[in-house]
Structure 1
Amino acid sequence: MTDQSEDRVDKVEDLFDTLPPNKRQHLYKILYGKTPEELALDCPGRTKELASNHGFDCQAYQFRAQEESTRAPRIVRVGLIQNSIAIATTEPVEQQRNAIIDKVRPMFQAAAEAGVNIVGLQECWTMPFAFCTRERLPWSEFAEDARTGPTVQFCIQMAKKYHMVVICPILERDCVRGDVIWNTATVVNDDGTVLGIQRKNHIPRVGDFNESTYYGEGNIGHPVFHTKYGRIGVNICYGRHHPLNWLMQQLNGAEIVFNPSATITGLSEPLWAIEARNAAIANSYFTCAINRVGVEMYPNAFTSGDGKAAHRDMGMFYGSSYMAAPDGSRTPGLSRERDGLLIVALDLNLCRQVVDKWGFRMTQRLEHYAKKLTAASSPDYQPQLVKAREEGTSSSREESKQMQNGCGHDCSRVSVDCSRFH
């Protein structure tokens, strides 16, 4: 069972706000790059009203770029939605899915009222994250076709209605190729057409994340989707721990990369604020980290081979969804406990401005690391490891003699007259 004794903190930033104003401002500058006041964006009254009526957290910020004389600003509004499940996991699959859709629907409306162009949802957003149980049924019934499934069809409706691009993560059933299950994000264009899919490239085998029982590593690489609102990549959940996964999105031209996730307290929370932000810095693009919220209880107790007693929940999914910019600044996070909508206006021109300022693309030396990575991929790879020689060996005695001579050479093997050093 989840430890209920831990101190309740709705937002990490609530802890910042306990400080005196000058220290609070200083801490934000150091840790987040900018204060919330510097990033503040006006949120329309209708959006606030919907958030109040439906009980979800709503925050709005903006990332600015410097004005240029040869390029107009490329302003895009992004909305990140985090949510809990809506009814008990013992209810029929279709009812569970529809209940989540019904409570997320007004969040889409709120995003539209704020002029959002791209909406990103969390990993497998219309189902409980039930892979911890290792039970096939009923959880595999949530799997759906990546183009015609009910979750995707809802997102297609939202895309058409509000002229949004929608990142729709699902549990995919590939009905064409043997009914194989994948962890997938469908990317829906603003006209309701499906641009394509991204499958999860890295599958965890840690704690209760028993996902490899259900699906394997993705097989379609790192596609980047070119939309009128920018070039979009998707790095699903556990892939955020792998820097090369982020790098491939950069190499394929991404300007915004979404990281739909499902992760819990006691495991990854110290990493959460770092990884997507670090990826934004290293790759000179915007990143969107999205996590679900709540505690999900299952009818049957389960274990995960880690010595812990059988339990019926994974722990608390801590939300805290945020966005990071290529200059290293980031927004405050959404609630750790409540559904939420994060609205961010950003100028895509900032990507190239940061490339020019820091020179990370110019200095990354891909050809150098390509050779090293190719070598390291070989089963007979020999690490470039320098070891200290043990005292008393012939090699160490010879080196000691050379050092005593002062020249550093093996004088018996060189034609240079080293007598002046002796």
Structure 2
Amino acid sequence: MVRHFKIALVQVSLNGLPDQNLSKCLAWVRIAAEQGGQVICLPELYSSFYFCQKETTKYFEFAEPLYDKSFTAFSELAKELGVVIIVPFFEKRTEGLYHNSAYIIDADGSEAGLYRKMHIPDDPCFYEKFYFTPGDLGFKAVQTQFGKIGTLICWDQWFPEGARITALSGANVLVYPTAIGWHPHEKSEHGPMQHDSWMTIQRSHAIANGTFVAAVNRVGFEQPEPEQPGLEFWGSSFICGPQGEILAQASTDEEEILVAEVNLDLMAEVRQNWPFLRDRRIDAYGNILKLYHDESSP
């Protein structure tokens, strides 16, 4: 088993032209590999701007069926470069049934796994329930040539249950392709707190599970429709170690690549000294399966 590998995050701005985004991201993945990345991840919904700011059927045109042009292009590149590529895309399963998904493409170009986003938000400018059906593949870790990768997507990052189950499946690193940003009218008052909460919850997953965490966001201001307020994506992609320590972090407003090492020997040492998995009381956790627990709950 590989005990050390490098993960690379590609933080980029994206537009409403899928072919341009595909060409751009292929080029950035190539650069990430040149910089030493062996497991390379793109932001959520890489092929377009973040269209969920508005509910309209015209944006279903961005969806593509499984193993279409995104898979073909990145599969060929993964095989050429000998790297693992995580490709988050808008999946068309059939008419009226769509997912927010991610391929995990192994270093030989084969599909190592597929993940479908489990938690689907519905907030102002994040109207994802209109577009996406919740995932039906569950939380899992996928074995690749460089490590066992647990891929979750954006809103999943706020839920400790998803992180825990994925870690218990053997993930060496939890990878969160993301599209998150500020509403312009909220940034001055709530922006710092929102950003800090986003960092804190994901670092806590690393600590609680003794694993590495990598979150990759898009960057830039996106306003798909003139009447919309738009979103300022805050970048800040980061990689942290199993004690929540920041190994690499990007800016809030620049396109860039982050690279950091995933060290399984360090992961083992941390888990041996902080044995949270050992001390779990699985016999006492039944109520976690209830929506809410109080005296009136059956």
Fold-level match, TM-score > 0.5? yes
Q: Structure 2 counterpart of 1:255, which letter? A: N
**Residue 300 of structure 1: how far off its partner (Å):** 4.7
- For residues 30 and 248 of structure 2, what CA distance do their matches in structure 1 show? 22
Taking the aligned partners of 2:222 and 2:242, their CA distance within structure 1 comes to: 34
Q: Name the SS of the counterpart of 2:214 in structure 1.
A: strand
Question: Residue 294 of structure 1 corresponds to which residue in structure 2?
Answer: 220
The letter for the 1-side match of 2:204 is N
**What is the DSSP-based 3-state SS (H/G/I as helix, E as strand, rest coil) of the residue aligned with 1:122?**
coil
Equivalent of residue 330 in structure 1, options 221, 240, 246: 246
What residue number does 1:186 align with?
103
Q: Report the alpha carbon displacement of residue 228 of structure 1 after superposing the two structures with TM.
A: 2.1
Q: How does 1:135-284 map to 2 (within 5 A)?
A: 135-137=56-58, 139-146=59-66, 148-175=67-94, 180-265=97-182, 266=187, 268-284=194-210
TM-score, normalisation: structure 2: 0.90
Following TM superposition, by how much is the alpha carbon of 1:358 offset from its aligned partner in structure 2, in angstroms? 0.7
Deviation at 1:106, TM superposition (A): 2.9
Contact kept, 8 Å, 1:83 with 1:125, in 2: the verdict is no
Cα displacement (A) at 1:193? 0.8
Partner residue of 1:372?
287
**Structure 1, residues 187-238: CA drift from partner, whole Å, max 9, x if none?**
1111111122111111112221111011121111112101121111111100
* SS in structure 2 of the partner of residue 185 of structure 1: strand
Does the CA-based 8 Å contact 2:97-2:133 persist in structure 1?
no
Tell me which residue corresponds to 1:26: none
Counterpart position of 1:132? 53
Alignment partners' CA distance in 2, 1:187 and 1:367: 34
Q: Structure 1 300/213 Cα, relative in aligned 2: closer, same or farther at 3 Å? A: farther
Instruction: Tell me how far apart the structure 2 counterparts of residues 286 and 123 of structure 1 sit (CA, whole Å).
Output: 19
Give the partner amino acid of 1:366. I
Contact 1:240 1:276 (8 Å CA) reproduced: yes
Shift in Å at residue 384 of structure 1? 8.9
Residue aligned with 2:86, SS: strand
Q: Which amino acid aligns with 2:247?
A: T
- Higher-strand-fraction structure: 2
Alignment deviations for residues 95-128 of structure 1 (CA, whole Å, 9 cap, x no partner)? x112122222332222222232110111001111
Look up the equivalent residue of 1:142 and give its one-letter code: F
Q: Counterparts of 1:180 and 1:360 in 2: how far apart (Å)?
A: 39
Kept in 1, the 8 Å contact 2:248–2:259? The answer is no
Pair 1:356-2:277 in alignment: no
Aligned residues: CA RMSD: 2.0
Bigger Cα Rg? 1
Gaps of 5+ in 2: none
Q: Do the aligned residues in 2 keep the contact of 1:144 with 1:172 (CA within 8 Å)?
A: yes
**1:33-182 correspondence runs (5 A):** 74-86=3-15, 89=16, 96-137=17-58, 139-146=59-66, 148-175=67-94, 180-182=97-99
- Give CA-to-partner distance per residue, 1:112-157, whole Å, 9 cap, x none: 22232110111001111111110110x11111123x2222222112
Task: Provide, for residues 286-318 of structure 1, a one-character-per-residue CA deviation record: whole Å limited to 9, x for no partner.
Answer: 1101111011122352xxxxxxxxx342x2001
TM-score, normalising length: structure 1: 0.65
What is the alpha-carbon distance in structure 2 between the residues aligned to residue 208 and residue 336 of structure 1?
20
CA distance, structure 1, for counterparts of residue 176 and residue 295 of structure 2: 32
AA in 2 matched with 1:368: A
Alpha-carbon distance, 1:73 to partner: 7.7
Amino-acid identity (%): 26
Check the 8 A contact 1:170/1:185 in 2, yes or no: yes
- Structure 1: 4+ residue segments shifted above 6 A: none
